[in-house]
Structure 1
């Protein structure tokens, strides 16, 4: 049985899938939970967020949610040489958190000081804000939140979508979000919040928060009192003045517009035609939706996927002269993704979304995500009247990988062996593509986070014995725990295959010094996965610094070494005993113990 399992593992590692238009350029295979209790959480990523240059260095960055350890956010940056590096993980939460949060991370600048922040919501804690220290190359967002927003009536719960923007044109960014309270429906709400004062890394200063707009489910009409809040989506619906906000909730896919009329001033829709339920069944745009001007007429539309009948997409649009203080069936177009050649293009729900021109033909595409075998489907606008479904082309862009399995059954009947595989049906959650080119090579990239990927594969081996099958069941490690994938566009002539390396802290290796014990000198060796500025210091057993061997210097990728001669920073010989040497690389460290004997 052991030999058979080893063969199966080798087979699983070498199997692959081919598809047109795009190629799988990058995957991150998360460790199993028994291998890394934190990073194993990256096998089920609720959402990602992207910025082309958050640090002013030309480096793009990706945020990814991680449910493990009560919920953290991981920060990856593009470090060149076809490498993406994990450079920061938010501090572990010691109180509250969990309950499948965070669900949506963001970059933003709520205090307006020009320093990028990482913003996400944590169950029972509020909305954490971590501000970058502004030091190029540090990626340091602190060891505790710079500030925390706690203005919601109750803190138990979550949101799936949020925005940071100057929605009212007053020169100050606001947080625009809903909150799904787990303490009671009446505490569900819709919020617009701004800050006063400034904070810094690890320091709230004298800052505070105020609520510009709030309406709670229990005291609101417009269909908002009938179901869980889903999203507030800003959009330039009428093509003039300030943007509007489309509010949507889980009540037959209910929508209602909110007008922004001036600084800190918001108006709910008219009481007549103030809201619309888009479906006869109780559905919702679970992860919110997005604004995009598909035909370049200066007016944005809002596009909403559907959970759980995912083949229906709704476009909210306004024509010249139509009032955004109401919404009627004239403002809605329903697209059925299953209405064209492939009548089963999407079998389940649609979750995430994006837009771009992945095939490079000059026609804009809308992207929607689902479960295997419809991980990414596209709606390409062919031109003409955007409200006419005949002017759209629906197709499957990426089915997913048919060689990622959740189970397999091996049947041995009198020496005739048959193997049946159960394909993993994980779904793409909150993808990111807005004409994105994360590695800046001129080809569009699509960042795909996945949920519901198993870290093991159940193997059932059935052998015919006498008059019946005898089953033996075991589990093997899933070699493709691909919780994060990046698709890259191809052109008609193809693109040379590019393997992008994802570097994690475990890829940095600090070896045991040699000799050990030693007298009077010893050599410390280490391996770097890429060129990196590092420090290497020696401490006594109480944590006091004894010797700086490397001080924030850049070393080349590969094997490196340094010699310690047993002296301190003043050149004096140190006493016999145990010492700790620590390699610091970015926001991470590795340490080992050594012994000096005289």
Structure 2
């Protein structure tokens, strides 16, 4: 935040307890309330005035919560005003289309106008500049807008708007209706004696119809229909007789329907109404909502317990009161409630209770009795199950958990794995040995001024209770505080020197977040500058949902030839109930035969250990690949001191001897020994770590398994900033600098020393030494996360001098993992790609560990040992699987004996064939890069030994080629001449050909080429490098599959893509294959399907998306039996017998009867469409007449085939002259069939 006032920040993005510049930390959306910026994206605060309003609300909340502030909220309410239209809506992007529909005509004198649109849309109807009616569309998406009737013809304006949707501004014709026009005036329901439609009820409907037309409506009848699985009409038709113009007619209990017992609550449904009178028909509808109970367990109370503390304890009996909440809109009657548990430590004495009724949106309590075993452990969680039943077959279940005794978090696991703790602010809390009881507690993170350190946990409290905890504070009194919050409300705050004390606060049942935050003000640090929390007693809570991690395989070995690469998959699975969060650390092994042994000196003790130093001014590589070089070497770095004492942040503290500050944000992700870090800890004793808060003053040799690890040791010695000097840090976008400015040694150890480290975003590290007074007692070097690998420049020896620079850099690592972190949902998994790179490695064996840290409380860290063997010509073994019958194979390794029976001893002799210019040819020897047909009598596998081949060149002929790949899986090739036709890489399986996405070693493939040439298949290639071609031609096609092999139909493939949809040559006899007769896998119209079937049964599945519901049928015909299968939407067929082909044919659907449809659009100007249906070939005429009965246009006259037909009329007479606006009649005659309808031409 860089605003002048904190309130400007709050006003823009919402309330959040910031402090100073917040240490550069920007809160997330979840951590703040709504402000002006995010309000319109997540709420109805969308107009300019509402934006100001929600911003002012955020400022007001800050005042209520007591967050840091500069101004009063009253000022914002007074000063921030909209000088313009307050209702103006700002669009965040291009508006969406609002799907609207409304009446075609607004009849004169009518007092309503029906509109459907997106829920939340506003509707306004006006005429000649006067507003006649407004309404808002509700959840049903339809509304009858009440309007002041309009009594003169013309055009009414219809305006429909909704924020972030395109406005609709149209006109509708206001006109007197010729003839009758009947609509639903009103309706009421009687549902169980009230007007609420509830589950299981029989509902009676009373309807009033109104004739808003100009002529009487005779023989009026209304019929209802429904398309809803929860509604069943019992009485769906009623006669209303004659209704005069502007008259009404009511029928009491005219209709009835039954509501299903299983209807969901708040279920919206529609009853469609068709109203007829003589030859006229009008469509209308009635919209209703059905309700059902929604019952669940609410507040849980423990009463009548033996010791009266309101919780279950070992060895006691108690009553459990369960409040049942009915959040549904229907009453539940005659409830029976049963309680059960499978917990061996709990006995239910009274397991049932009843309620006469539970009204809608109400609650009531049921009581049970239980006993707890004396052997139950404190903190044991008991899961209870509730079974609830009521009239009308209502049944539901729920569960809740109660804890026996205290629900405790005392951090004695030595970690935060006991509960789903989360952390925020500028430094995470850590585990400390400064405990109230036991060994461990939680300690706030090391932070600088104007920073915070937070930890919080969200839990479901199952019954009213309290939370208590012990706290300890050592800070600047009245300025640096430990604060405790429940759901964002501060409950307590403490500062200064406070020894262990207990705090307790009441907590209600429900979801709650408990947060502890240590925050510092602008300056001064006193005491230990931190806070501790221990022995938290929660109220009864549901057990946290923990993840359960598993990793496969548990070890990795790879053999790679010198200069080569290899890849392996590592799978992390989560079989638990909670989300698994994981991170990966790579720890490469050390070439040292053993780690150096740590030796701890007494404070101020003289170090007599012998020193070590390099005889050269450069060194490395270590096992990972790091090197170092200093500026005394010809190609070393330049000494270029960067002074930051005027721009950097000074680290302060009450006692800075043996002190660590952290975690401090680097400002970028930094790669160190293959792992990514964005935070550092700075120790006063001349070193930095990325993970450790160690403050040890005894420098050690590197590498060393003891703390600190992930180490940058610039001048690791017993330094004491308390006696002088200052430590600064300064971050820029691509580097982070820490400077020890004139810092002396402890006691009389010498000094002062001035040195710095520059951490560059590009991965390099530079140590610089401005002045060195006593440099023969320190350690200089770097070390990985486990202390098993590192570079030591000097240990306890004279080496450093004034104006010196040392550069650390790394070659590409030999082991990488991607991704390095992630989250996995319950019952999910993630694949990690492990890459071995031997390009810079000498022959030999290399070891490492992949350490996976997670929030699984039982397996916090899992270590996967890794061994890489690098050799000049590596002999490896590879297993290639095969299935029974014909397979496509290739040679996966370089072998001296590549005879087919040596490579695949399980194969049938003399059955290997290659494919060339002359077709199939029998072969005995396999060659790398070629593909072959090979037959096996049974399913199995062969183990093949040979040398790895990482790249091969494959010769291609024009058209189809059989190929194979190299010794590693890859997904492409280098195709410099763009020979390969896209989408033509095919593998072969038990169900025939299928498109392949990768080339696996040991398998053969088909690929199609535009011409003669070469491609290169290499293990270094990730994607096919060929000309991109859009292959969406079959994306929306119909599909039909035979035993899982899919063909496509109903679409036309562009000529430029046709080759991409061809199929390779048919497999040998005995293999399965299916294709269209022209060797294609797709076709547009009718076609023959050829099948090579190796079984006596075909499973045929289909999905018809194109032409479905367009009066077109696709028919599958067995040419032998002439049996026809009509393919409609989706389905599965089973066909037995020896079948070698089918015919797939597209045929028109034949209507069942004559029919004339209403023209569309209507009203129209000047073109409309008229559809009619003929069940047989017949001579027809379709003519248009005016209201005088005069023929205007003869549209059709002659014989038409059976089917569905559409005729267009362009509003002209027989002489092609435009006709006037008005009502016209069109009539269809076909044999003895006659039908007449009206249409309105409006210009």
Fold shared per TM-score above 0.5: no
Structure number with the higher strand fraction is: 2
Structure whose alpha-carbon radius of gyration is higher = 2
Report the TM-score range of the alignment, normalised by the length of the smaller protein.
under 0.3
Using the size of structure 2 for normalisation, the TM-score is 0.12
Greater relative contact order (Cα 8 A, min sep 6): structure 1 or 2?
A: 1
TM-score by length of 1: 0.21
